[in-house]
Amino acid sequence: MSLLLNCQGLAKSFGALNLFENVSITISADDRLGLIGPNGSGKSTLLKIMAGLETSDEGSRVLRKLTKLGYVPQDSTFPENVTVREVLTAAAPQDDELEARVNTMIGVAGFPDPDLAATRLSGGWRKRLSLAEAIIAQPDILLLDEPTNHLDLAGILWLEDLLANARFAVVVVSHDRYFLENVATSMAELSRQYPNGIFRAKGTYSRFLEKRGEFLISQQKLEESLATKLRREVEWLRRGAKARTTKSKARIDQAHRLMDDLDQVSSRNRTSTAAIDFTASYRQTKKLIETESVTYRIGERTVFQDVNLKLSPGTRLGVVGANGSGKTTFLRLLLGEREPTSGSIFRAENVKMVYFDQHREQLDLDKPLKRALAEHGDSVIYNGRALHVAGWAKRFLFRSEQLEVALSRLSGGERARVLIARLMLQPADVLLLDEPTNDLDIPTLEVLEESLLEFPGALVLVTHDRFLLDRVATVVLGIEADGTATLYADYAQWQQAQQERQPTKTAKPAKEPAPVTASPSKKKLSYLEAREWESIESRIASAEATLEEMKELMHAPEVVTDAKRLHEVYEEMLKAQADVDALYERWAELEAKQA
């Protein structure tokens, strides 16, 4: 286990804001480290320091000689008029295997049109391209900042498979708990509640939670012990020692040290989470929204068709599907911003709907935080009560000195909290949430989950967070690429249906061949052709099985990260495809002779 990156005693501040200090972290060749922490704790900044893109105020960063380091930021941007193929070609090692390596990565990442300009890709496909760009460069360490943001569920599963057996070391900042559980072999949390600013433990995310719980319990016991010792020393001081001996002065010094230690431990043990509680209208209407045979088309493309559902108080609907499948469009139809191509949408009279936009277009990034939270004054009205904007901001973990800071200077997670704070002021019968979890830290996610579970109205939730779907949704609407829209009991049932939709290995060709019998038509085949006819079905099945194995192998992490092996498998897959095509062609010839 060779050491690749060694960071010791790192500290970083922005003006008066101290992000972290005395943080040490090492990365070895076999590490797959998940990094979590509260919004604003400095995770992205730490990752940039590790990548060499920013410098720390204190401490050292040492990268082993000749170590190649890749970095994928939260937001993926590419130059204008540069195609997917050109992005990958520029990033790949410039050697004799360049073309094969690029073609293989295009296939592995699943790009349908490699000659499309990268800037024309959707957010999810741009994220895939940035990941593929970093991987094809064959790094020794890959640093990923929220890589699951904008990816659909299929993309997340693809990335999980890729990273789970990667030959390079991985450091990933993520709030996706299932993703961390499936990928990470060790976890670290960046937070001021730890003595050195960071807590690291080997094992999966669930194992990390156990170890962190044990540590926090020990910290609480330490605080109680220090408090008890301090009470004894203070009591002794109050009694007053008449003779100021060396021993008594030592007791006074010890009391002061205990006070300092207790203050440090107490401040670390004090943690805050955002207070999220959406305002419900408590409307008694049983039917808030109902769709009847709703179909939506864009040109010749059917986005979804024949959607029939009813939203009542207490309904929590999860909407899932691939990027571009129409999930956001469906929310906008419910909201009334778009009209269905056919079918009808019933909305209860004066139904109140609150919409969380995944792109957060409701936010004016030039406005200061104070005006974003309270547009027309220094207070907000929440649940019929007037609250000062500073107190309202504190509820969402903002400090008073941030009130005059422009939203453009806030982190993605902080902007998400601003939008949630604004939406909470609006009484709602129906919550329409489009990817509300992007950029939120895990403690805030947990509070959001509790709030959604307690919300008495109807909820429609578009999210790629499988943990949130599993916990919150009572029914799931799956939208497929062909426009089919089906209701499922939960996310697991939808995932099972997805697996069943995948092409399966079959022992039968596309058209059922006639059975081999002693019929007159068989006389048109020669003896050797008759023997060939008897075996061709099993040969087709065998060839198809080989082709499927090659396709699956093309996506295997141990193959993707080995350029030579990738090229070999790619050639084998082409040969397997040619064998299948030839067998089907021969089968058609033999069948025609019997006609």
3-state secondary structure 188-224: EEECCCCCCCEEEEECCHHHHHHHHHHHHHHHHHHHH
> 275-298, pLDDT tens digit by residue?
666 666 666 678 899 999 999 998
pLDDT digits (tens, 9 = 90+) for 206-237: 888 888 877 767 666 666 665 676 666 666 55
| Contact status, residue 330 vs residue 461, Cβ threshold 8 Å | no
Look at residue 365 and tell me whether its pLDDT is greater than 80: yes
How many angstroms separate the CA atoms of 21 and 386, rounded? 39
Per-residue model confidence (pLDDT) at position 339? 92
CATH class of 3-191: alpha beta
Tell me, yes or no, if the two domains 289-501 and 520-594 fold the same way.
Answer: no
Residue 504 has pLDDT above 60, yes or no: no
Distance CA 578, CA 542 (A): 13
Q: Which residues contact 158 (CB under 8 A, 6 or more apart)?
A: 109, 110, 128, 555
Name the architecture of domain 289-501.
Answer: 3-Layer(aba) Sandwich (3.40)
The residue ranking higher by pLDDT, 78 or 219, is: 78
* Strand intervals (E) in 299-352: 301-311, 316-321, 342-347
CATH 3.40.50 correct for 520-594? no
Contact 327, 296 (CB under 8 A): no
What's the distance, Cα to Cα, between the start and end of the chain in Å?
Answer: 67
Q: How far apart are CA 168 and CA 593, in angstroms?
A: 56
Nearest to 438 by CA among 204, 173, 190: 173
pLDDT cut 90: percent of the chain above it:
29
Residue 88's pLDDT is 94
Distance separating alpha carbons of residues 198 and 50, to the nearest angstrom: 15
Contact between 325 and 464 under an 8 Å Cβ cutoff? The reply is no
Give the phi and the psi of residue 503 in degrees, each rounded to 5: -60, 130
- DSSP-derived secondary structure for 168-190: SEEEEE---HHHHHHH-SEEEEE
Asked if 374 and 448 touch (Cβ cutoff 8 Å), the reply is no
Give pLDDT tens digits for 14-53: 876 788 989 999 999 989 999 998 877 889 999 999 999 9
- pLDDT tens by residue, 291-322: 999 999 988 888 899 999 999 988 999 999 88
- Cβ neighbours of 574 (radius 10 Å): 12
CB 426 within 8 A of CB 20: no
Residue 251 has pLDDT above 60, yes or no: no
Query: Could you give the 3-state DSSP secondary structure of residue 7?
Result: strand
* Whole-angstrom distance, CA of residue 299 vs CA of residue 189: 48
Mean pLDDT check: name the lowest of 96-100, 188-192, 235-239.
Answer: 235-239
How is the chain split into domains, by residue range? 3-191, 210-269, 289-501, 520-594
pLDDT at 111 over 50: yes
Q: At what angle do helices 527-554 and 98-109 cross, to 10 degrees?
A: 90
Give the pLDDT confidence score for residue 321 in this predicted structure.
Answer: 87
Q: Considering only CA atoms, which of 297, 317, 327 is closest in space to residue 152?
A: 327
What pLDDT, on the 0 to 100 scale, is given for residue 109? 87
Percent composition of the chain: helix, strand, coil (DSSP 3-state, to 5): 45, 20, 35
pLDDT tens digits along 568-582: 776 787 788 778 777
**Helix 98-109 vs helix 84-91: angle between axes, to the nearest 10 degrees?**
130
